[in-house]
Amino acid sequence: MGRITLEQAAAWCGGTVDPKYKDVTFLGANNDTRKLTPGQLFVALQGARDGHDFIPAALEKGAGAVLCTHCDGDYPAIVVADTRLALGDIARGERQRLGCKVVGITGSVGKSTTKEMVATVLESTYRVSKTPANHNNDIGMPMAILEMPEDTEIAVLEMGMNHFGEISYLTGIAKPDVAVIVNIGTMHIEHLGSMEGILQAKLEILEGLGENGSIVLNGDDPLLWNLHKTLPRATYFGASNTQCAVLAADVTENNGILSFNVSLPSCSTEIKLPLEGQHYVTDALAAIAVGLCFGVSGEKMAEGLARFRNMEGRQEIFQAGEYTIIQDCYNAGPESMAAALSVLGNKPGRKIAVLGDMLELGDNTSAEHYRLGRIVAEKADMLFAYGPNSERVLSGAVTGGMPAGCVRAFSDRDKLVEALKVQARPGDVLLFKGSHGMQMGLALHKFLHEDR
């Protein structure tokens, strides 16, 4: 049974509804008929394909109603000028109706993992809802809000972007009570021009923050720490900046467990995470800082983080027959590549880096891929690089001291897999990583499941 009437949704978004359908209800929204469940609002978006062409299929699958710019039949519908903007307006109205607290999270690297950790920390004390998977854009985040259970006390919403104004739009819908910026990296610098441009785009999250809202920032990030005088009420977290209110110390890794002590304003506690890689300390500290904003005890935060499990496709480490696989194929930028290679470098056995290009780096593309190769030379024994910039990675690796016979560059992903099958041997550790568009997960699947 739905919870939002078409009359109510139309009032929120300025749409029109045939009076005979005004009391029809829906719960949740979807723009993909393949994933739509009965009772949802089908959103007919204008994209590469016109969503209006799929309205009959959506109705056949049980859509509760349709959000569209025109009707070609007699069915429950909200008619609007722009379905994308209307979806956002409806989500804004629902967020206000629910009256829950909201945590908004953005950053260049690690925001999805941070979102998951924040939810884990808060779940010990509150009823929590969160954006699923990669629902962090102008379509996904509003749909996540419309899916939230009625009894949600805190919503944890991830906000992504690659252009100016995108987070401004999202934060205007979410109206966060706590705004978190995990870090400022080089992802999407192609569209934003500089690190300072990326900082300004991330700071848009503060536009939706209420007057009494809380700000949580990474004090180890120089660009964010530089704001401490202009944002005096911000809570800073970090591991190297001793002026942070949430401060990590004594970081160790042992048998797949990442441990550290965290000093809080009123106490200190030990944190144990079932993860490998010191870069996860940053994400955990952000989650702890958010927990403080909501009065969660240090003990409960530690218990929650000890149970943490990362999302699928984000640094999953597993045995596949004779190989150890590090699957980190969701996305990649210079910072996350370096972190993943650090994890690879700490593994016993022969280490093979299977890397796709990093996208959206603009004028930094050539230099960053060369620098990536230099890092590979320090952390891996072999390199298989794929993409238009693979030769630059190869060049950096050879310059960094990796033997020429241990590096290969490919413009064809299938040929990379064929060569990898020939070279890989029992006991090897293989890291698969690249930007989402490089589909390195497909390379991994073919390596593991297609006959040699």
pLDDT exceeds cutoff 80 at 336: yes
Q: Which helix (H) or strand (E) holds 121?
A: helix 111-122
Output the pLDDT for position 392.
Answer: 96
Please tell us whether the domain made up of 316-449 is placed in CATH 3.40.50.2300: no
Output the pLDDT for position 313.
Answer: 67
Angstrom distance (rounded) from CA 147 to CA 306: 28
Tens of pLDDT along 99-119? 999 999 999 888 889 999 999
For the ranges 41-50, 305-314, 427-436, which has the lowest average pLDDT?
305-314
> Do the Cβ atoms of 333 and 358 come closer than 8 Å?
yes
Residue ranges of domains in the chain: 4-83, 99-306, 316-449
Angstrom distance (rounded) from CA 125 to CA 110: 24
* Cβ-proximal residues to 275 (8 Å cutoff; 6+ apart), any chain: 256, 258, 308, 310, 315
| Per-chain mean pLDDT for the chain | 93
* Cβ-proximal residues to 3 (8 Å cutoff; 6+ apart), any chain: 25, 27, 150
Tens of pLDDT along 81-95? 999 999 999 999 999
The residue assigned the tokens 């990796």 is 402
Fold exhibited by the domain 4-83: 3.40.1390
Higher pLDDT, 399 or 109: 399
Residue 227 — φ and ψ, nearest 5°?
-90, 0
Reported as a pLDDT band with limits 50, 70 and 90, residue 2 is low
> Average pLDDT of 386-390?
96
Output the pLDDT for position 230.
Answer: 92
pLDDT exceeds cutoff 80 at 193: no
For the ranges 52-61, 238-247, 355-364, 411-420, which has the lowest average pLDDT?
355-364
Tell me the whole-structure pTM to 2 decimals.
0.82
Q: What is the CA radius of gyration of the chain?
A: 23
> Do the Cβ atoms of 85 and 93 come closer than 8 Å?
no
Residue 145 — φ and ψ, nearest 5°?
-60, -40
Q: Determine the distance from the C-alpha atom of residue 214 to the mean position of all C-alpha atoms in its chain, rounded to a whole number.
A: 21
> Average pLDDT of 360-367?
88
- Report the sign of the C-alpha dihedral through residues 294, 105, 221, 214, in that order: negative
Angstrom distance (rounded) from CA 150 to CA 157: 16
pLDDT exceeds cutoff 60 at 452: no
Pairing outcome for strands 4-5 and 25-26:
antiparallel
Reported as a pLDDT band with limits 50, 70 and 90, residue 451 is low
Work out the number of other CB atoms within 10 angstroms of the CB of residue 194: 13
H and E: helices and strands count for the chain: 16, 21
Q: What is the 3-state secondary structure (H, E, C) of 195-233?
A: HHHHHHHHHHHHHHCCCCCEEEEECCCHHHHCCCCCCCC
Please tell us whether the domain made up of 99-306 is placed in CATH 1.10.8.80: no
DSSP state at residue 162: S
Output the pLDDT for position 46.
Answer: 86
Tens of pLDDT along 230-288? 998 899 999 999 999 999 999 998 888 999 999 988 888 999 999 988 899 999 999 99
pLDDT exceeds cutoff 60 at 365: yes
